Structure 1
Amino acid sequence: MEKEQVESIKAIVIRNVKGVWSDYWLPITAFVVLIVSCQLFNLTHSGFFYPLMFVSGWIVVMFALKFKSESSVFSLKKLTKHRQKDTSYEMYTVLRVYTNDSDFQEYMHIQEYFDSQHIQMENRVIDHNQDIKSQIMFIRKPEFAYCYHLLMDQKNEMYFINEYM
């Protein structure tokens, strides 16, 4: 009975070692070459080992930086995703549409009509905990009678915010 358990544990360990080796053979080999070449350099002081130490050290450092950036507690990707979930801030494109047409809201869904208007675009971070209208500055243009503020999110959905005369 104990021999069967030992054999099953041995099979599991061998399978895990083979899996790790197949995934990480390059950094493992580079690390071993780095250690061996450093030890041989200490014994012989031969310049022959400089390229081996440089290349294998470079590979080890690149893999270490890659793994650090992917699995770090302070990873920028994870921190950004976590921050976006916890905060009420979101990036929008603010569209200021200037027109002299009082019926803009009725026809604004027609692409050709919308494109024929004078549009100013600006990227802005909007806080949903505050009044959205107050976060978008109204800029008057005397040659136009109306100004409409629209928000476009990351999914290209548009939201009507306000109308100014």
Structure 2
Amino acid sequence: MEKEQIEGIKETAVRNIKGLLEEHWLPIVAFVVLIVSCQLFNWTHSGFFYPIMFVSGWIVVMFALKYKSENSIFPSKKSTQNMQQDSSYEMYTVLRVYTNDPNFQEYMQNQEYFHSQHVQVENRVIDHNQDIESQIMFIRKPEFAFCYHLLMDRKNEMYFISEYV
């Protein structure tokens, strides 16, 4: 009974190794050639091995990057959400509203009124561990009396940050 189990395990291992070799034969061969050519270069210091080392190293790196990118493109959504929650940085749309109206805050909910003002839009990464107001640069425009900074998050919710006179 034990011999049959051992034979089954051997067959499974051989089948898995053959499948791995059939699927990844090029990077395996390139890695072996890279190691051998590096050793031969160390022994002989011959310039003949430079192209061999370059090509085999390039193949190994390209397959490593391909493997890395394939595995990182589709991470589980839970791990991505946890990473975003753990990070204190978040992308916001910064709205700089320039106006001459001192009552802007009262009427800014009116979409037509809001769009009638001079608005500059900029995407910016904000660190929640620092003062948000200090992370947004104030740019003076002499033709306007007031400048308001608003933030819009990914859910299109607006937050009033500061007012400059």
Q: TM-score range by the shorter chain?
A: 0.5 to 0.7
Contact 1:146/1:163 (CA < 8 Å) preserved in 2?
Answer: no
Change (3 A) 1:31 1:93: same
Structure 1 Cα separation of the partners of residues 107 and 157 of structure 2: 15
Deviates more, 1:62-71 or 1:142-151: 62-71
User: Which residue identity does 1:159 align to in structure 2?
Assistant: M
- Counterparts of 1:114-133 in structure 2, within 5 Å, are 114-133=114-133
Contact 2:149/2:160 (CA < 8 Å) preserved in 1?
Answer: yes
- For 1:106, the equivalent position in structure 2 comes to 109
Aligned residue for 1:157, secondary structure, equals coil
Change (3 A) 1:35 1:156: same
Structure 2 Cα separation of the partners of residues 138 and 32 of structure 1: 58
User: Which residue identity does 1:105 align to in structure 2?
Assistant: M
Aligned residue for 2:149, secondary structure, equals strand
Structure 2 Cα separation of the partners of residues 159 and 136 of structure 1: 15
Change (3 A) 1:62 1:137: closer
Structure 1 Cα separation of the partners of residues 127 and 52 of structure 2: 54
**Count of paired positions:** 150
Once the two structures are TM-superposed, the CA of residue 149 in structure 1 deviates from its matched residue by 1.6
Change (3 A) 1:142 1:40: closer
Structure 2 Cα separation of the partners of residues 6 and 31 of structure 1: 31
Structure 1 Cα separation of the partners of residues 89 and 22 of structure 2: 43
Identity of aligned residues (%): 68
Once the two structures are TM-superposed, the CA of residue 126 in structure 1 deviates from its matched residue by 2.6
Deviation string for 1:28-64 (max 9, x for gaps)? 122344567789998xx9x6x8765553343234445
- For 2:4, the equivalent position in structure 1 comes to 4
Question: Which 5+ residue runs of structure 2 have no aligned equivalent?
Answer: 72-80
Tell me the TM-score normalized by structure 2: 0.59
User: Which residue identity does 1:107 align to in structure 2?
Assistant: N
Cα RMSD of the aligned pairs, angstroms, is 4.3
Contact 2:98/2:147 (CA < 8 Å) preserved in 1?
Answer: yes
Question: Which 5+ residue runs of structure 1 have no aligned equivalent?
Answer: 72-80
Confirm or deny that 1:160 pairs with 2:159.
Answer: yes
Structure 1 Cα separation of the partners of residues 40 and 161 of structure 2: 74
Aligned residue for 1:106, secondary structure, equals coil
User: Which residue identity does 1:17 align to in structure 2?
Assistant: I
Once the two structures are TM-superposed, the CA of residue 157 in structure 1 deviates from its matched residue by 2.2
Tell me the TM-score normalized by structure 1: 0.59
User: Which residue identity does 2:158 align to in structure 1?
Assistant: Y
Once the two structures are TM-superposed, the CA of residue 97 in structure 1 deviates from its matched residue by 0.7
